[in-house]
């Protein structure tokens, strides 16, 4: 317990990121001061938003500083405490970054939260009962606002956010239609998660073809769309959108390496009086308790299913992250650190 392995970002990517943008660094585990807590991270979360932070460009998130620990969500266990609010053995969730250990000080209010692992596995607090789950909940409940019988479509449907969107839509009596890459992911979304249909976008070379498949899967049109991808997928969905439909714009992974993302028919926003709203879930902390309560209850009772892709060891984080950006993960991408 003397060495802390860390992954630093050491250069900005030009186009697609590579493992060369990262470096494995060994640092001593810090000695605690009064009010501080030492956490041994058990799991590290890998998320698409991290790609944007690698650039030194204006965005909703501050750029990741070079030659410092890559930021990210973590779950772990308190191994030493000089803070009365935390005791050794507490299971906690926080933003520990890509490293084996991290220190939290008393003045960092809200930076560390004790969680109950009696009915919910620790790793789930980085996925279904964490930021991805709350992201799904906010976009669906606060922006799409589905009514029973309406049709909700979600792209990246087999990912950490998409899987929750469809299942939460079903809880509310809506039809859930996924868009995912490959037959295995589509089969999982329908057979395991209970979506009404799932379209394999890899079987369609253009928006017209994908839109025809959507017409078959959504005979009554699309009332709500949870967007994670952009590009051709968004164009295809907009061709099937109903009047007064709503789009929750969560991510546009098709343009994360700087590629332009033109919209083929933006006039449909006006023609169909559509509402398109982008959101960042960390700006809506007031809804987190309500969202986490529902998500935690559904996971604990087995009504919200999820899947995890787990890379082993801190050294595996960069390669696993690059795989996430290419859709190689199946469900929530984690790195297991112990």
**Residue 108 has what pLDDT?**
85
CATH number at residue 165: 3.40.50.720
Q: Which of 25, 144, 136, 39 is nearest to 81 (CA)?
A: 39
Task: Classify strands 91-94 and 112-114 as parallel, antiparallel or unpaired.
Answer: antiparallel
CA distance 254 to 251: 9
Q: Is the pLDDT of residue 28 over 80?
A: yes
Residue 137 forms part of a structural domain: yes
The tens digit of pLDDT for each residue in 126-173 reads 999 999 999 999 999 999 999 999 999 999 999 999 999 999 999 999
Give bridge partners of residue 69 from the DSSP assignment.
8
- Range(s) of the domain holding residue 112: 3-127+307-336
Residues 248 and 206 grouped into a single domain? yes
Instruction: Answer whether 335's CB lies under 8 Å from 46's CB.
Output: yes
Tokens of residue 83, six digits = 């803070």
Task: Classify strands 308-312 and 332-336 as parallel, antiparallel or unpaired.
Answer: parallel
Tokens of residue 337, six digits = 């650190």
**Residue 1 has what pLDDT?**
65
SS3 162: helix
The tens digit of pLDDT for each residue in 186-236 reads 999 999 999 999 999 999 999 999 999 999 999 999 999 999 999 999 999
Tokens of residue 55, six digits = 């650039």
Domain count of the fold of the chain: 2
Residues 76 and 147 grouped into a single domain? no
Q: How confident is the model at residue 244 (pLDDT cuts 50, 70, 90)?
A: very high
Considering only the C-alpha atoms of the chain, give the largest distance between any 2 of them, rounded to a whole number of Å. Answer: 63
Residues 228 and 102 grouped into a single domain? no
pTM strictly above 0.85? yes
């Amino acid at each position: 317990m003397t060495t802390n392995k860390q992954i630093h970002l050491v250069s900005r990517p030009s186009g697609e990121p590579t493992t060369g943008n990262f470096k494995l660094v060994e640092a001593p585990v810090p000695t605690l001061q009064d009010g501080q807590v030492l956490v041994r991270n058990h799991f590290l979360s890998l998320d698409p938003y991290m790609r944007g932070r690698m650039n030194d460009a204006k965005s909703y998130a501050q750029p990741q500083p070079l030659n410092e620990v890559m930021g990210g969500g973590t779950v772990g266990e308190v191994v030493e405490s000089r803070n009365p609010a935390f005791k050794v053995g507490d299971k906690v969730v926080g933003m520990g970054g890509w490293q084996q250990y991290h220190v939290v000080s008393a003045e960092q209010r809200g930076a560390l939260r004790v969680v109950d692992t009696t009915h919910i596995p620790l790793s789930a607090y980085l996925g279904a009962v964490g930021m991805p789950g709350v992201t799904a909940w906010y976009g669906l409940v606060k922006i799409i606002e589905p009514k029973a019988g309406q049709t909700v479509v979600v792209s990246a449907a087999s990912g950490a956010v998409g899987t929750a969107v469809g299942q939460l839509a079903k809880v509310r009596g809506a039809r859930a239609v996924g868009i995912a890459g490959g037959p295995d992911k589509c089969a999982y979304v329908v057979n395991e998660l209970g979506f009404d249909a799932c379209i394999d976008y890899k079987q369609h070379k253009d928006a017209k073809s994908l839109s025809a498949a959507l017409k078959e899967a959504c005979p009554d049109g699309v009332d709500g769309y949870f967007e994670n991808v952009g590009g051709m997928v968004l164009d295809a969905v907009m061709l099937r959108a109903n009047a007064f439909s709503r789009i929750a714009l969560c991510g546009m992974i098709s343009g994360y390496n700087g590629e332009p993302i033109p919209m083929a028919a933006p006039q449909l926003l006006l023609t169909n009086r559509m509402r398109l709203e982008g959101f960042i879930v960390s700006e809506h902390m007031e809804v987190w308790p309500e969202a986490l309560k529902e998500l935690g209850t559904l996971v604990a009772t087995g009504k919200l299913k999820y899947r995890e892709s787990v890379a082993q060891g801190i050294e595996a984080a960069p390669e696993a992250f690059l795989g996430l950006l290419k859709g190689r993960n199946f469900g929530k991408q984690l790195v297991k650190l112990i």
